[in-house]
Amino acid sequence: MAGIYIHIPFCRQACHYCDFHFSTNLSRESEIVQAICHEIDDRSDYVNERIETIYFGGGTPSILSANCLNEILAAIKKSFEVSSSAEITLEANPEDLDKAKLRELRLSGVNRLSIGFQTFSDAKLKWMNRIHSSEEALKSFHNARESGFDNISVDLIYALPDHGLDAWMKDLQLAASFNPEHISIYGLTIEERTVFGKRKISGLLIEEPEEMAAEQYLQTIEVLEANGYKQYEVSNFAKPGFESKHNSSYWAGDKYLGVGPGAHSFDGRSRQFNVRNNAKYLKAISANSSYHESEELSKSQIANERILTRLRTSSGIDLEKFKSDFELNLLAEHQELIEQLRKQNFLKIKEQNLFLTSTGFLVADEIALKLFFDE
């Protein structure tokens, strides 16, 4: 299942935790959109499969005007065969989702929204430098429902300093009470180049203890499952049939094209990384020069990526398919380690699938690294 990711590199203001590529200078929106459309045309042969998912990420894609959004979608449909039932997701901030904007999104063909709530604490929203209030978050969700969106995901952040288990449970229960089709939860991570990263270095920010973060995570699984959500990936929970098709294709190792400054692509054998700078991206597109770097992957690297991504999912690794695809025997190679992890209740094996437990999900990446194959 092939997909296209479009990186919209603009935000109204910078959240203190965000390390994604974006600019708060919106004056070049039209130029960037034209360059993205040019890249789509330029890379029309990158994925020779029908496109089943389109994902607008960023940045803040909900900043885009209807005309810009329609230009990009038209360019995709001109250069690729797009399924009539394609999942088209747009990430949005609550402050952008008034009824007029939502009508425009519906008319454009967007059929899935991913709304960044993060928390319902106004004090914490201000601390994170978010623009919206908790009241605006509630209103944006109700506006989306009234506008006909029946596939909505909401994002929440746990492990916020001085926002303990009770406060997190309040956030979680309130989000679940709206009955969105999908909920994503992310632990706060402090990246070095962010405002929070600088505060941490100077001693002005102390992260939530790991024990509290783990307790919040494990309680989340129980609460959301009790509310009818199935955990299908480390950070993602969905009502039956509403798993993100686009993100699921990443974890399955499917091909995808990423367009826009900072976007990544994968064709099954190599990865491409677009330049992470708006001005350099525009200059390269204008000059018809290279705007991305490529990395050819060895068989063991692709196998390791399969381990890393599949272990993040509830279904885990199909051991027989892994052996067939890579001629590598994961069980035989790591027999002692796997047995040790199983005794510690970090993983299980059932019907030839190796998958992590809830406790294992807490350290999924660390376990994956231990299971990697050497070059």
Tens digit of each residue's pLDDT (9 = 90 or more) over 176-234: 999 999 999 999 999 998 999 999 999 999 999 999 999 999 999 999 999 999 999 99
Residue owning tokens 């991570």: 189
* Collapsed DSSP state (helix, strand, coil) of residue 272: strand
* pLDDT confidence bin for 25, thresholds 50/70/90: confident
Predicted pLDDT at 127: 97
Q: Tell me: cis bond preceding 59? Omega within 30 of 0 counts.
A: yes
What are the residues whose beta carbons fall under 8 Å from the beta carbon of 161, sequence distance 6 or more? 188, 205, 206, 207, 208
Helix (H, G, I), strand (E, B) or coil at 49: coil
* Residues 288-322 pLDDT 10s: 999 999 999 999 999 999 999 999 999 999 999 99
Q: How confident is the model at residue 19 (pLDDT cuts 50, 70, 90)?
A: confident
Supply φ then ψ for residue 54, to 5 degrees: -130, 130
Asked if residue 375 has pLDDT above 80, the reply is no
Strand-pairing partners, residue 51, are: 2, 82
Query: Domain locations in the chain?
Result: 2-251, 299-371
For residue 375, the 8-state DSSP code is -
Tokens at 165, concatenated: 């288990």
Residue ranges of alpha helices (H) inside 178-315 are 195-201, 210-226, 245-252, 278-286, 299-310
Burial 195-229 (b: 16+ CB within 10 A, else e): bbbeebeeeebebbeeebbebbbeebeebbeebeb
Q: Exposed, middle or buried, 60 (CB in 10 Å: 0-12/13-18/19+)?
A: buried
User: How high is the pLDDT of residue 24?
Assistant: 85
The per-residue pLDDT for 26 is 85
Decide if pLDDT at 371 tops 90.
yes
Q: Please answer whether residues 57 and 36 qualify as being in contact, where contact means their C-beta atoms are separated by less than 8 angstroms.
A: no
List, for residues 110-166, the tens digit of each pLDDT value. 999 999 999 999 999 999 999 999 999 999 999 999 999 999 999 999 999 999 999
pLDDT of residue 325: 94
Helix (H, G, I), strand (E, B) or coil at 6: strand
Question: Would you mind telling me the total number of residues written for the chain in this entry?
Answer: 375
pLDDT of residue 162: 94
> pLDDT tens digit string along 330-366?
999 999 999 999 999 999 999 899 999 999 999 999 9
**Does domain 299-371 fall into CATH 2.30.42.10?**
no
As its CATH architecture, domain 2-251 has Alpha-Beta Barrel (3.20)
The pLDDT value recorded for residue 295 is: 95
Question: For the residues 41-69, what does the mean pLDDT come to?
Answer: 95
pLDDT given for residue 21 in this prediction: 84
β-partners of residue 171 are none
Beta strand 292-296 pairing with 270-274: antiparallel
CB of 35 closer than 8 Å to CB of 86 = no
